[in-house]
Amino acid sequence: MTLDRELVSALERDYANAPLEPRERVMLDYVVKLTRDATQVSREDHARLREAGFDDVGILQITLIASWFNYINRVADALGVGRSEPGA
């Protein structure tokens, strides 16, 4: 959570070039990989998170939160939540 509108804009444009701490970038790299294809997440990804300072509980929390957002967004998309088309 941040009220820094410039940071939010930078993250929306391209998180890889946003002004982030290395630890935050490692976390977002993991979340992007998890979102695109969770079957490609490996022990090496978890090792990178540990090297960035996350423990097992932190890795679990990151995974659960990202997965929940992915899930709920897919449910909303499937049900047309937020669509302004007629009949949606």
Q: What would the pLDDT profile of 21-42 be if each residue is shown by its tens digit?
A: 999 999 999 999 999 999 999 9
Position of tokens 């941040």?
2
d(CA 49, CA 63): 11
Q: Would you say the pTM of this structure is higher than 0.75?
A: yes
Residue 25 tokens, joined: 């970038």
* Secondary structure class of 65 (helix, strand, coil): helix
pLDDT value, residue 2: 67
